[in-house]
A and B are shown apart, each in its own frame.
Chain A
């Protein structure tokens, strides 16, 4: 069966630099003496710690539990003693700290007794598999770290399950080697996913610059076929043209199905679920071995690395430990980029730990990264628009972002920008477009928040004014009536009192109605906004 492919709009053909790191297999890193495990390693609510300092933990033990629907638990990556729960630097472009759990490892690497392989994972119910995936803390390992279990509970019939092995960013090879070395784990993971969401077809997409990985997956499938597992017949392995960002979820869905995910909605609304190969393998580990997500494959690469390659690294391992092991030359002038050269983050602090999102550590020289940009004025050549995979007009966005015309930015769909950076790479004026857009996006978000807050307080103030006016009016009326009543005979006193009471009731009930309106009104907007940010 040959998969029909659609054209990826825009995008760039970039030199891959994949051979630097893709031939040496996967090496395990030794257990470091100290692990720093941030509570927020996924999109959504940070996990809630359930251990205390001094407590002994085992490998795979839950140390922080999931905190809400869109959240994921965090497990101890190795056995040891909890040394601290405090704010530690995280992998970020500026020096930011987040609450993390520190474990002093004992080197024994003892698994928690609850970590047990499931005898026959495929015989479990869909709901059971999903729950186990959730409990194992599996999140999207392609870099988006969206909790996978949430993706696997679609509310409609799924036509296509896409397994993303595209890995379109230059330098990164962790998915490549995973498919080369553990294709059977990926296939078993796919079968589990098929069991949960029952798609009509399953496509494994691999960029055509990874023929070895492609062949490895094909071989694994035929091995399964020979073993009599017929379920693999629905899996279609497809090579997609090498072009950045073909591996972006929205782009890959377009290339494979011809469908476009509408702005602000999720792929499942089109009947598509898309998961990374690394995530699929993690799902396999969670069920076949019962092991939660405690480590991941990290590509360490770059021209200054003596031992570039892919390492299986325990989550929480300090990045400088990884760099020591990979033997990075000239560390003082080395800059570490977490992720690829197109969308990665230049780390402010190399002591920050490896997290679930860390697919690659790209080492560059400082002068290559931290170089002041001498940009020229925009000449509106439109190169940026021709490479934009979302078909936006970066030249117009730039114009409005630099003049802070935020309402215009919304009409030019700034929120659909995926930060891929293609526009900046082709810009002859060397304008840091992505930086402008990120700034404008955060500004837009802040303004939206401000606006909501202002709306709320305005509403509150208006109702307060109304209430005060009413009370004042009532008081005056009462006064007038009392005056009138005093002049009248006492026999009519009862009536006045009744009138007073009923008017009082009216006031209080109206006040309540307004208050309840205030508390319910902003919530729908807020939730839709949250969903949007989670998609990213």
Chain B
């Protein structure tokens, strides 16, 4: 239990703390607004239904767990960390995901990965990614059913129809869900290159936009902007995002130069899938990442390399969840071995 200052003996400093956890989390949420907005633009109401159900169920699970653990529910709900987890998960799951998928995902994220380990600040694994990984392994069909960004505006599925699908598994008229979905750009790229199609041809296909996956490239760009704002506000440091992006760019660049027809180019990798979300919002989760400057650099490099390796040679199209979870395990070790040089250490006398 945290140590409390007694009212009789108090010690300095007598200046109010400049930040609170809820303010930090609130700002993280603000920074994700552009990404959410662009995702809504391209993927429609399915994004909103994801976010609403994820937030509601995450808060419900958090309250339940806090109640069972006999912790002050109001204090901990107000910290906003559950909402951040829910938003990350909501954005990472395919839009229009069925309600139970989100419920199961947030259960694993909030109850298993976070609260069972001691709640805020004590979880070893990134809750959103732990939830995502469980879903990816358990429900591969639902997890790969991404609606194509172009079809929805044409099909004009409104909010109510979306909710109908999400809760009742019904779509209006003759539309079938399969007609709405398509392989994600990363998935498409993998299977096509696996079939021997060159990356140049992949790039010309309908799933690829200007620089990377259609629609997804703009979401990544919006998230990048939000992330830069977060860095500008000093809520994250440059180390992890820069290292994640650098390692992905360098690795993919090297292989792209080696065999441009078999490997995707760096820009494609950086602006596809959840790369930006990972670099600025997932890998930078302070609780589960390394905290020393050098540790953050190694951590970021590790995440980036793992993302590229799993995307290129692994069994899953996007690799953010596994890369982040694997590096989460290394964080305590990194912290221990990357203690920075303190003031006056190793100084020659005279």
Contact = CB atoms under 8 A, between A and B. Distances in A.
Q: Do A and B come from one complex?
A: yes
Interface stretch (A45-53, A178-186, A262-270): A262-270
B176 interface: no
Contacts of A292: none
B4 interface: yes
A384 to B, nearest CB: 10
Contacts of A343: 12-13
Contacts of A227: none
A413 B343 CA distance: 10
B228 to A, nearest CB: 18
The 10 closest A-B pairs by CB, nearest first: A377-B121, A421-B13, A428-B19, A381-B286, A260-B344, A375-B2, A390-B343, A341-B14, A382-B291, A342-B13
A261 interface: yes
Given A254-B343, A261-B344, A428-B21, A14 B15 contact: yes
Interface string A404-445: 000000001100100101001111111110111010000000
A345 interface: yes
7 contacts: A93-B9, A337-B14, A342-B14, A370-B10, A377-B119, A426-B19, A434-B13
Nearest to A435: B11
Contacts of A262: 344-345, 347, 349
Interface in B58-90: 75, 79, 81
B100 interface: no
Contact of A250 (B9, B10, B81, B344): B344
A380 B291 contact: yes
Contacts of A390: 342-344
Contact of B18 (A269, A345, A377, A426): A426
Interface stretch (B103-111, B142-150, B250-258, B333-341): B333-341
A374 B342 contact: no
A233 interface: no
Interface in A434-488: 434-436, 438
A59 B9 CA distance: 36
Contacts of B343: 9, 250, 254, 260, 389-391, 416
A316 interface: no
Interface in A247-291: 250, 254, 259-263, 265, 269-271
Interface in A372-408: 372-383, 385-386, 389-393, 395-396, 402
B116 interface: no
Nearest to A343: B12
Contacts of A402: 2-3
B13 A391 contact: no
Contact of B12 (A373, A385, A421, A430): A421
Contacts of B344: 250, 260-263, 390, 416
A486 B322 CA distance: 90
A345 B13 CA distance: 9
A269 B335 CA distance: 33
Nearest to A344: B12
B181 interface: no
A329 interface: no
Scoring A343, A379, A391 by chain B CB atoms within 10 A of each residue's CB, the highest score goes to: A379
A376 B3 contact: no
A436 B3 contact: yes
A517 interface: no
Contacts of A117: none
Contacts of B237: 382, 386
Given A380-B287, A391-B343, 10 more contacts: A370-B7, A376-B79, A382-B292, A385-B291, A391-B340, A396-B291, A425-B15, A425-B16, A428-B20, A436-B3
A156 interface: yes
A346 interface: yes
B341 A391 contact: yes
Interface of A: 9, 14, 93-94, 156, 170, 250, 254, 259-263, 265, 269-271, 337, 339, 341-346, 348, 362, 364, 368-383, 385-386, 389-393, 395-396, 402, 412-413, 416, 419, 421, 424-432, 434-436, 438
B335 A396 contact: yes
Interface in B158-183: none
B24 interface: yes
Contacts of A271: 350
B141 interface: no
Nearest to A416: B342
Given A382-B291, A386-B237, A393 B286 contact: no
Chain B contact residues (Cβ within 8 angstroms of A): what range? 35 or more
Contacts of A369: 10, 14
A438 to B, nearest CB: 6
B268 to A, nearest CB: 32
A335 to B, nearest CB: 8
B30 to A, nearest CB: 16
B18 to A, nearest CB: 6
B286 A380 contact: yes
Given A392-B342, A395-B291, A378 B121 contact: yes
Q: Choose among B2, B20, B286, B339 the residue with the greatest number of A CB atoms under 10 Å from its CB.
A: B2
Interface in B2-46: 2-5, 7-21, 23-24
Contacts of B5: 371-373, 432, 435
A395 B19 CA distance: 16
Contact of A344 (B8, B14, B292): B14
Contacts of A254: 343
A425 B13 contact: yes
Contacts of B12: 337, 339, 341-346, 419, 421, 434
A393 B23 CA distance: 23
A376 B81 CA distance: 12
A269 B349 CA distance: 6
Contacts of A385: 291-292, 340
A395 B292 CA distance: 10
A429 B21 contact: yes
Most chain-B Cβ atoms within 10 A of its Cβ — which of A341, A376, A431?
A: A376
B345 to A, nearest CB: 7
B234 to A, nearest CB: 8
Nearest to A340: B12
A381 B24 contact: yes
Contacts of A428: 17, 19-21, 23-24
A385 B343 CA distance: 12
B139 interface: no
B138 to A, nearest CB: 29
A521 B75 CA distance: 55
B122 interface: yes
Contact of B349 (A265, A380, A381): A265
B93 to A, nearest CB: 25
Interface centre among B12, B342, B349 (most CB of A within 10 A): B12
B259 interface: no
A191 to B, nearest CB: 26
Contacts of B197: none
B17 A376 contact: no
From A259, A344, A369, A381, residue with most partner B Cβ within 10 Å:
A381
Contacts of B15: 14, 170, 341-342, 421, 425
Contacts of B7: 370-372
Nearest to A436: B3
A262 to B, nearest CB: 5
A65 B179 CA distance: 95
Contacts of B340: 385, 391, 393
Nearest to A261: B344
Contacts of A348: 8-9
Nearest to A395: B291
A349 to B, nearest CB: 12
Contacts of B326: none
A340 to B, nearest CB: 8
A435 B5 CA distance: 8
B17 A413 contact: no
A379 B287 CA distance: 5
Contact of B10 (A93, A374, A383, A392): A93
